[in-house]
Chain A
Amino acid sequence: ETGVTQSPTHLIKTRGQQVTLRCSSQSGHNTVSWYQQALGQGPQFIFQYYREEENGRGNFPPRFSGLQFPNYSSELNVNALELDDSALYLCASSLNPGGTDTQYFGPGTRLTVL
């Protein structure tokens, strides 16, 4: 069984640019959630995708958007990057979107915005 993988591992962008982060969910999981973890903080929920549809969103502006593909892998896109977007971006996959299904996290993508 393959765990959750993310790419790239690290990324450096400048303010105003756009970035795409990728996540492959664990085998058999149809739900992917994205979180932003600022340095020294706990992860914050960005949004969740379930069967290719957005299924809930946290307190993030519309320049944070996502996609989920038929194989349940997912992308996080961030437009018009700001310095405060510098963080570790985590994706987590689960069997189902709600209830108490365990969310399995990937290793994250470290984004630095200069």
Chain B
Amino acid sequence: QQQVKQSPQSLIVQKGGIPIINCAYENTAFDYFPWYQQFPGKGPALLIAIRPDVSEKKEGRFTISFNKSAKQFSLHIMDSQPGDSATYFCAARHGSSNTGKLIFGQGTTLQVKP
């Protein structure tokens, strides 16, 4: 129940394509869902985050879609660029928890070809 399952494990798209990364969870106590981007040799950096009272959130070329009834959420990257090549992690947190513990998915390695 503490898991966040992420797919696919890896993804290759052409420049301008729209890669989609999916995550699913079981624990309905999760109420905050961030996405992190990690480049080789760097720590994860927050991209965008959503609360379950919203079905979609956009920030620049990044969009999160959230389906509360299905307990699924996904990241879409519009007009993808070679510089978007990185590993992406979804995560979940108990919003009411006093620890802020993040539970991460397994990660998706994205390659955007020029």
Give chain A's interface residues, CB within 8 Å of chain B: 4, 31, 33, 35, 40-45, 48, 55-56, 58, 90, 92, 94, 96-108
The answer to whether B98 touches A55, judged by C-beta atoms less than 8 angstroms apart, is: yes
Q: Which of B62-70, B75-83, B103-111 contacts A (4 or more CB under 8 A)?
A: B103-111
CA A27 to CA B18, docked complex, whole Å? 37
Which residue of chain A is the closest to B31 with respect to CB atoms?
Answer: A100
CA A63 to CA B71, docked complex, whole Å? 36
Q: From the candidates A4, A94, A106, name the one contacting B100 in the complex (CB within 8 A).
A: A94
18 further A-B pairs in the complex, CB-CB below 8 A; given A33-B101, A45-B102, A100-B32? A33-B99, A41-B107, A42-B4, A42-B105, A42-B106, A43-B102, A55-B98, A56-B101, A58-B101, A98-B96, A98-B97, A98-B98, A100-B93, A101-B100, A103-B46, A103-B102, A104-B46, A106-B43
The answer to whether A48 touches B107, judged by C-beta atoms less than 8 angstroms apart, is: no
B42 contacts chain A at the CB level, 8 A cutoff: yes
CA A33 to CA B51, docked complex, whole Å? 22
Which residue of chain B is the closest to A40 with respect to CB atoms?
Answer: B107
> What is the size, in residues, of chain B's interface with A at 8 Å between Cβ atoms?
29
Main SS at interface, chain B = loop
Contact with A along B41-64 (1 / 0, CB 8 A): 111111001010000000000000
Main SS at interface, chain A = loop
The answer to whether A97 touches B98, judged by C-beta atoms less than 8 angstroms apart, is: yes
B89 contacts chain A at the CB level, 8 A cutoff: yes
Indicate whether A105 sits within 8 Å of B98 (C-beta atoms), given known contacts A42-B105, A45-B103, A100-B93. Answer: no
B19 contacts chain A at the CB level, 8 A cutoff: no
